[in-house]
């Protein structure tokens, strides 16, 4: 198994990646070792990863863009078909699924033993009961999407999408410049001539009753709303995601609601908000200005965030 060097570093490394997204890298052009600074930890690869286990779907569009999904030998979690084109779906169908069991908040339920038994040389995505430290103890590296790092204190931007694609390109020794240029062009087109003047909130409701979560300035929802011409009503909250009460939502009264979910019936997700007591007093509900879309179309920063921006612009004009 290739040597892995993991060493805790100070958060000043985030300054090296511009926006402080949580991942920087050194090494390119096939020159190994390659070091990725991810969530405040240095991860060093002596060769290209060849046995990758996916624990979150967020990395899929990056790996597809680079043509390295064939390096993934197992996956776990939810991979909704709506995220992917036919080619990506065909690639995913060839990858064995360990489990798709999640809790009501969309968090993957899998034992560490199941993942370790796959003998991966890279795990993508951290889950609650399988930490970086646990994997490090058995010489398995982990890369989390930078926006999901607990150490992240800087607001994400679309530049983080391009940077993360470049970083994956360095890890897998694959060129990324053309793919980055294409993503930049799509973002610019989706941002142009936005109407402006309206407010919006991005929420993650719990179907069947329970907590509703909102997204603040440390989430990709904030720059996505700005690019679409909206003002985030929770743009004064310096958190990624947080619980929000019905009364606070009514008080902020957004013109538009974007509701995120991990799987299941989008109508049930919408009903969880629009059918709640007092919801008829919300401007967005009265005007029918509600869009439900899958979680990765907003969070974390990835090529799917650009697709989500395009969907928001198309839906709301």
- Residue 43 pLDDT grade (very low, low, confident, very high; cuts 50, 70, 90): very high
Q: pLDDT digit string (tens) for 262-311?
A: 888 999 999 999 999 999 999 999 999 999 999 999 999 999 999 999 99
For residue 222, give every residue at least 6 positions away whose Cβ sits within 8 Å of its Cβ, in sequence order, or none. Answer: 155, 156, 215, 216, 232, 235
CATH topology of 5-185 equal to that of 193-316? yes
For the segment 235-245, the average pLDDT, to the nearest whole number, is 95
Note the pLDDT of residue 310.
97
Q: How far apart are CA 294 and CA 228, in angstroms?
A: 17
Note the pLDDT of residue 288.
96
| Domain 5-185: top CATH class | alpha beta
**Following CA atoms 160, 164, 165, 168 in sequence, which dihedral angle do they give, to the nearest 10 degrees?**
180
- Single pTM value for the model: 0.84
Note the pLDDT of residue 36.
87
Note the pLDDT of residue 128.
86
Q: How far apart are CA 68 and CA 39, in angstroms?
A: 23
Give Dmax over CA atoms of the chain in angstroms: 60
Does the pLDDT of residue 20 top 90, yes or no?
no
Note the pLDDT of residue 30.
56
For residue 305, give every residue at least 6 positions away whose Cβ sits within 8 Å of its Cβ, in sequence order, or none. Answer: 158, 161, 220, 224, 296, 297, 298, 299
Query: Across 33-178, where does the E strand assignment appear?
Result: 34-38, 41-45, 52-54, 72-75, 122-124, 142-143
Show the tokens assigned to 164. Answer: 């993360």
Note the pLDDT of residue 210.
84
Note the pLDDT of residue 5.
35
Contact 254, 282 (CB under 8 A): yes
SS3 267: helix
Mean pLDDT of the chain: 88
Note the pLDDT of residue 29.
53
**Residue boundaries of the structural domains of the chain:** 5-185, 193-316
Name beta bridge partners: 124: 54, 143
Does the pLDDT of residue 161 top 70, yes or no?
yes
Closest CA to 256 of 216, 194, 201: 201
**Following CA atoms 147, 151, 156, 161 in sequence, which dihedral angle do they give, to the nearest 10 degrees?**
-40
Q: How far apart are CA 202 and CA 225, in angstroms?
A: 9
Does the pLDDT of residue 22 top 50, yes or no?
no
Q: pLDDT digit string (tens) for 100-122?
A: 988 876 788 999 999 999 999 99
The CATH number, out of the four listed (3.40.50.1980, 3.20.20.150, 2.30.40.10, 3.20.20.10), of the domain defined by the range 193-316: 3.40.50.1980
């Amino acid at each position: 198994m290739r040597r892995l060097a993991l060493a805790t570093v100070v958060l000043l490394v985030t300054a090296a990646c511009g926006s402080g997204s949580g991942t920087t890298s050194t090494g390119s052009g096939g020159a190994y070792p390659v070091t990725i600074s991810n969530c405040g930890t240095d991860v060093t690869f002596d060769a290209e990863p060849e046995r990758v286990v996916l624990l979150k779907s967020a990395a899929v569009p990056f790996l597809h863009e680079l043509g390295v999904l064939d390096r993934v030998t197992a996956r776990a979690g939810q991979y909704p078909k709506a995220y992917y084109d036919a080619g990506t779906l065909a690639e995913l169908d060839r990858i064995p699924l360990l489990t798709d069991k999640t809790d009501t908040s969309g968090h993957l339920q899998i034992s560490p033993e199941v993942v370790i038994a796959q003998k991966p040389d890279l795990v993508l995505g951290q889950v609650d009961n399988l930490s970086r430290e646990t994997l490090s103890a058995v010489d398995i590296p982990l890369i989390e999407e930078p926006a999901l790092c607990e150490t992240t204190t800087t607001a994400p931007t679309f530049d983080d999408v391009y940077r993360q694609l470049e970083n994956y390109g360095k890890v897998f020794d694959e060129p990324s410049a053309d793919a980055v240029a294409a993503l930049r062009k799509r973002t610019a087109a989706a941002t142009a001539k936005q109407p402006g003047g309206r407010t919006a909130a991005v929420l993650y409701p719990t179907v069947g009753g329970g907590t509703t979560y909102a997204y603040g300035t440390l989430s990709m929802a904030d720059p996505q709303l700005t690019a679409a011409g909206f003002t985030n009503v929770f743009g004064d909250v310096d958190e990624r995601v947080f619980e929000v009460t019905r009364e606070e939502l009514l008080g902020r009264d957004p013109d538009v609601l974007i509701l995120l979910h991990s799987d299941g019936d989008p109508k049930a997700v919408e009903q969880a908000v629009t059918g709640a007591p007092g919801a008829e007093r919300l401007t967005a509900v009265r005007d029918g200005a509600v869009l439900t879309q899958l979680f990765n179309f907003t969070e974390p920063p990835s090529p799917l965030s650009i697709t989500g921006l395009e969907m928001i612009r198309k839906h709301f004009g």
